[in-house]
């Protein structure tokens, strides 16, 4: 009882934080206005940069950690921390697009360098196995900025009616809804041992109800639920006993970091730091894994994005390049750089075309993998181990392990995430 009384007396002593105060990484109270004060690493780095001296990598890491810790915005009950990877797309994308709209050659250079810089940053973060909000910020801000340019530069010309604008706006909102669904739990796996040790009362009631339904109609069943709980637990552990029948298989499927035996087709994501059921890949555009529970929403988001983007490109080209087909206007639109408004719109069209082409390639690969019932993780593993059939110069990789035919593969994909503990017998290895 004494520790409880101490806690009750200690809680009122904690002073509430104002909107500009926060607790830094050292556990001390700090203020947003003092973001550049009392930092020896930043002072040393600035002195070395001004005197053209080299800065050690350890000092650069400490400077970045300090900046990321002090970069905050005022908020209720304390300033909120901002992820520094969100900021570059918000600043650089409008600057690059405006510079590219000055001249045709500048547009070619900028629009060519943007994918190269994005790929370089992707491989840099992928090699370090770090989570980043850069691509999620880039994608969301690109959607918003393209829509802003469309409303400001294209709609006032009078060629886009209210119905077309409403359709494009609905497509944008559907993309956001699909992305929100795709950002949810992809199917994270939890440690069954820890779950058995810490079963809550609600979980015990659920186990009891399921046990009663299972033994309903059989004489001699224990209505108290103890026998039913034991029966259900044995069923849940049955799949792990099947995996444990082979020591080699247990060694392959055992995750030392999550301390569990992975079911078939599950994998540990080194970026998220957790095992995902039927993991396809880690998508940087949503900053999350694509697994059993969100794969359908991921495909839906890609489809809606492609349709909306193509529709917006067609409306823009039909407005700034009249009396020309969409394909012709994309490569030949005389006088488009004579007006800054039309030049900016044309530059944004080409930026949208580049992004759409990349997403179309991802969408095509996903459709092929679903048709052959393989995940991207299984494809990469088959390519490294030189197993499976390669078709169309490696565009199609058929491992043959889970392929049950085109229709059955799509039928299985359409039911992903609907049954939490049931898996087809052919998927148990």
Q: Which residues are catalytic?
A: 283
**Joined tokens for residue 262:** 């992975």
Half-sphere exposure of 353 (CA within 13 A, CB side): 17
What SS3 state is found at 199? coil
Structure tokens at 11: 């809680």
CA 391-392-394 angle, to 5 degrees, is 65
Gyration radius (Cα) of the chain, Å: 28
Q: How far apart are CA 270 and CA 188, in angstroms?
A: 13
Task: Report helix angle 201-214 to 226-236, nearest 10.
Answer: 90
CA angle 382, 387, 388 (to 5 degrees): 90
* 3-class SS shares of the chain: helix, strand, coil, % to 5: 60, 10, 30
CA distance 107 to 304: 28
> Residue 278 in contact with residue 294, Cβ under 8 Å?
no
Q: Exposed, middle or buried, 224 (CB in 10 Å: 0-12/13-18/19+)? A: exposed
Q: How many whole angstroms separate alpha carbon 314 and alpha carbon 206?
A: 53
Q: Is 254 helix (H, G, I), strand (E, B) or coil?
A: strand
């Amino acid at each position: 009882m004494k520790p409880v009384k101490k806690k009750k007396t200690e809680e009122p002593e904690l002073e509430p934080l104002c909107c500009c105060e926060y607790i830094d990484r050292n556990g001390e109270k700090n203020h947003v206005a003092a973001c550049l004060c009392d930092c020896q690493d930043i002072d040393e780095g600035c002195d070395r940069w001004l005197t053209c001296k080299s800065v050690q990598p350890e000092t650069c890491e400490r400077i970045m950690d300090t900046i990321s810790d002090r970069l905050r915005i005022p908020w209720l009950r304390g300033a909120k921390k901002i992820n520094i990877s969100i900021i570059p797309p918000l600043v650089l994308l409008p600057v690059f697009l405006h510079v590219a709209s000055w001249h045709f050659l500048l547009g070619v250079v900028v629009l060519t360098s943007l994918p190269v810089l994005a790929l370089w940053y992707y491989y840099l973060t992928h090699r370090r196995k770090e989570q980043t909000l850069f691509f999620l910020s880039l994608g969301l801000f690109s959607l918003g900025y393209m829509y802003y340019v469309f409303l400001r530069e294209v709609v006032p010309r009078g060629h886009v009616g209210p119905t077309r604008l409403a359709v494009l706006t609905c497509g944008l909102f559907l993309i956001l809804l699909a992305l929100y669904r795709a950002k949810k739990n992809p199917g994270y796996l939890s440690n069954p041992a820890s779950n058995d040790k810490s079963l809550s009362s609600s979980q015990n009631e659920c186990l009891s109800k399921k046990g009663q339904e299972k033994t309903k109609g059989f004489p001699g069943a224990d209505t108290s639920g103890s026998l039913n709980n034991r029966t259900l637990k044995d069923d849940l552990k049955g799949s792990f006993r099947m995996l444990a029948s082979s020591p080699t298989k247990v060694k392959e499927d055992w995750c030392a970091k999550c301390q569990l035996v992975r079911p078939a087709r599950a994998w540990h994501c080194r970026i998220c730091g957790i095992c995902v059921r039927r993991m396809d890949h880690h998508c940087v555009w949503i900053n999350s894994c694509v697994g059993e529970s969100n794969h359908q929403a991921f495909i839906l988001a890609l489809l809606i994005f492609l349709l909306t983007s193509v529709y917006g490109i067609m409306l823009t080209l039909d407005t700034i390049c009249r009396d020309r087909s969409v394909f012709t206007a994309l490569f030949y639109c005389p006088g488009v750089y004579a007006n800054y408004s039309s030049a900016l719109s044309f530059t944004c069209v080409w930026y949208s075309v580049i992004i759409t082409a990349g997403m179309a390639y991802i969408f095509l690969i996903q459709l092929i993998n679903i048709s052959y019932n393989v995940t991207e993780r299984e494809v990469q593993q088959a390519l490294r181990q030189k197993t499976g059939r390669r078709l169309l110069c490696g565009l199609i990789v058929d491992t043959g392990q889970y392929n049950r035919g085109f229709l059955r593969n799509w039928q299985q994909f359409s039911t992903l995430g609907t049954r939490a503990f049931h898996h087809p017998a052919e998927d148990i290895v």
